[in-house]
Amino acid sequence: MGLERSVYLASLFGDHGERYPTPSYIFAESPDGRHNSLKRNYREVETAGPLSQKTGVDVDASYNTETVKELISHLATLLKHGELCGKVVVIVWKHSSIARLARKLGCGHDQGCPDEYRGKTFDQIWQLRFVYDFRVGPDVEYHHHKTPKLWQVFGYVQQENFDPLEFSNRQRVS
């Protein structure tokens, strides 16, 4: 089922009429860095694999739950330098940690991101959109102790209702 789901995920991205454009970056949680140092889980990297193969975009699996602050910092730097303008970033992460990751990226309940990713739900795509607020300009009153918020974050969760049999039939996979 996981393999089918990863192929399905890859089918959603591309520049030939797919739902989402080809990503410029793909991040997957590293197999190491979990709470149990003896346990390595390749599920996230394996989930991102078919998308990487389809698009030719390498999977960056250098971040994990222990180094998530570095991932956030890296993404913030890319945003700050304009390297993500009009770009798509795919992050494949441990599903129970997705809500925390979204909050660290600035998307909480008020911005459209759920407070948690419940139970054994593996059938959602979380879309976060970062929009530069052009209204902040010379006529905005600045306070020396407060930096104006230039980026707005909006979240949306898409329930996929993935049906592996129906998908296999459509792909003509047996």
Angle at which helices 164-171 and 2-11 cross, to 10°? 60
Q: What is the tally of structural domains in the chain?
A: 1
Q: How far apart are the first and last CA of the chain?
A: 13
Instruction: Identify the domain containing residue 141 by its residue range.
Output: 2-171
Separation of alpha carbons 139 and 121, rounded Å: 46
pLDDT in tens, 65-89: 889 999 999 999 998 888 998 999 9
**pLDDT above 80: residue 165:** yes
Task: Tell me the pTM.
Answer: 0.85
* φ/ψ of residue 147, rounded to 5: -90, 130
pLDDT of 95 reads 85
pLDDT in tens, 89-122: 999 998 888 999 999 999 999 999 999 887 677 8
Contact 40, 65 (CB under 8 A): no
The pLDDT of 58-63, averaged and rounded, is 97
Separation of alpha carbons 22 and 1, rounded Å: 24
